Amino acid sequence: MKETQLKILQYISGIGLFFFVGAHLLVSHLSSGDPTTWVSVSGRAASSGWLAFYIFLLIFGIYHGLHGLRTIILEFSTPNPVVKVLNWVLLAVGLAVFGYAVYIPINAF
């Protein structure tokens, strides 16, 4: 993919995160009641709507975070061969984190 396309995806994921993380923080940290109890957490994990919500949150969050990290690293005059390795490493890390994060709700409850 071209750098401009990656950048546009960075913007789109950033806008998505604004709403997804905002909703997550409102529900998990600022709402009344206790949303972090085992019953609340397992209830959300059993809901397909909440699972879809968290999967979108994960996709946007992982892409936005790792692409942001890549942007910072590339500013340090990174040579082309290193950039290629970095791209593969970040892709592998992103997929591994996504797999681990999805594995938890599927297997924990």
Partner 1 sequence: MEAKAAGSEKHHLPNRLGVKGWVWAGHYTIERYLYTLHRLTGLGLLLYIILHLVMNGFRLGGAESWTDLMELFGNPGFKVGEYLVMAAFIFHALNGGRLILQHLGYTLGSPKPPVYPYVDSMRRRRPIVWVMGVVIVGLAIYVLVEFVA
Q: Which residues bind partner 1 (CB under 8 A)?
A: 11, 14-15, 17-18, 21-22, 25, 29-30, 36-38, 41, 45, 61-62, 65-66, 68-69, 72, 75-80, 97, 100-101, 104-105, 107-109
Q: How far is the CB of 51 from partner 1 (least distance, A)?
A: 13
d(CA 51, CA 41): 11
For the residues of 61-81, what is the DSSP string, one character each?
HHHHHHHHHHHHHHTTT--HH
Question: Which residue's entry shows tokens 């959300």?
Answer: 44
Q: How far is the CB of 4 from partner 1 (least distance, A)?
A: 11
Residue 18 or 52 with smaller CB distance to partner 1: 18
CB 61 within 8 A of CB 21: yes
For 17, the enclosing helix (H) or strand (E) is helix 3-28
Residue 49 or 81 with smaller CB distance to partner 1: 81
Residue 18 or 87 with smaller CB distance to partner 1: 18
